[in-house]
Amino acid sequence: MRTVDMAYEMLRRAWAAPGAWRRERARWRPPRSGETARVFYGFVSFPPPEAPLAGGALKCRDLQREFPDSPHLPNLLYLVSSALPPHAELIARAARRAGAQVVLNQNGVAYPAWRPRDWRRANRPLARLHRLATARIYQSEFCRLSAQRFLGPPARDGAVWLNPVDTDRFRCADPPPVPPWRLLLAGSHQFAYRVAIALRTLACLKRAGVPVQLTVAGRYLWSSTEEKARRQARGLARAEGVEDAVEWRGVYTETEAVALLQSSHVLVHPQYNDASPRLLAEALACGVPPAYSASGGSPEIVGPAAGVGVTAPLDWERSHPPAPDQLADAVRQILADYPRFRLLARRRAETALDLRPWLARHRALFERLLADVSGPRWT
């Protein structure tokens, strides 16, 4: 975006939020070299632990175990691109003006296959934050590739840290008895095909004589209202002849997610180009192997052996979700060797996705950024 356009956008935002710029300028002070990190996440308060939160906000909650929210005179701003606070760019500019550090945890971006009408507009504020940040953390290599393609290359490169999971909280329990095998489709269903493919996969398995049930949990977001989307999903289940084999659940909390996963055998995750789904990490930690679209950042989280992926091309213009018969075949492969997949799923979470090393990397980063505030911000 041109400098004139950026200035106009900042003026427009400042006019739309009276007092926000003055408030943020007063919030920040120049950091002192080598001081302890005082991290502000852009939100003055967070929902209580039992409130439903998306993956981006959960990362801020995870970080607060080690770095409590410090809205008064902070020296470091931490933003997650998928859970930005109001006036995020204004906050970042105020922090930079004071000489504070700005860390951006970058998830996915908008692109034509996902938001065909307004992907350029949706990416503009992300691109400005991407340039403003003094350090960048990408949630997967796919996230880094997406950012470089659609947000522009940053002045300095960043690191790739896969989404973590608390393996003490998300842990294995005795799997539910068989039959039936219990499949789970969970998360925020922004696209109707997620539910449609899961239901058709269920139908494929039942036609093949596999005793199986499906739980659909989360928000239904692809239609004008959630109730309309839910009716469409139930209608498709009736049309596929699997209505009696589906349990419909709504939004769930992080605490409820543990029990939901522990009561399932296989996670079905058909979303194409999912940038870095935390749900996959949580499922692995609970010993729930995924049958999934091997696209986006999902293969980086699952690894080579903890689940079965359906291959897909990298395409920014069109989506390529898995065909139901292919996803059903992936489920059958897991069920045929279920104890081994269950063991490998938990091992993957413990060795590659555990929360504790992720927090330690943040501590090292924050210390490095604050060790010499006049020196290089990122190497």
pLDDT above 70: residue 13 = no
pLDDT digits (tens, 9 = 90+) for 194-232: 999 999 999 999 999 999 999 999 999 999 999 999 999
Q: At 323, is the pLDDT very low, low, confident or very high (cuts 50, 70, 90)?
A: very high
pLDDT above 50: residue 5 = no
pLDDT of residue 375: 42
pLDDT of residue 8: 45
Query: For residue 370, which amino acid is it?
Result: L
Section 33-42 average pLDDT: 91
Query: pTM for this structure?
Result: 0.91
Report the SS3 class of residue 293. strand
**Residue 124, C-beta contacts closer than 8 angstroms, at least 6 positions apart:** 1, 9
Percent residues over pLDDT 90 in the chain:
82
Token pair listed for 42:
């852009």
pLDDT of residue 377: 41
Query: Can you tell me the distance from the alpha carbon of 376 to that of 379, in angstroms, rounded to the nearest whole number?
Result: 7
pLDDT above 90: residue 131 = yes
pLDDT above 60: residue 114 = yes
Average confidence score pLDDT of the chain: 91
Residue 322 CA, chain-centre distance (Å), reads: 20
Q: At 376, is the pLDDT very low, low, confident or very high (cuts 50, 70, 90)?
A: very low
pLDDT of residue 21: 85
Which of 344, 370, 278, 336 shows the shortest CA–CA distance to 76?
Answer: 370
Percent residues over pLDDT 70 in the chain:
89
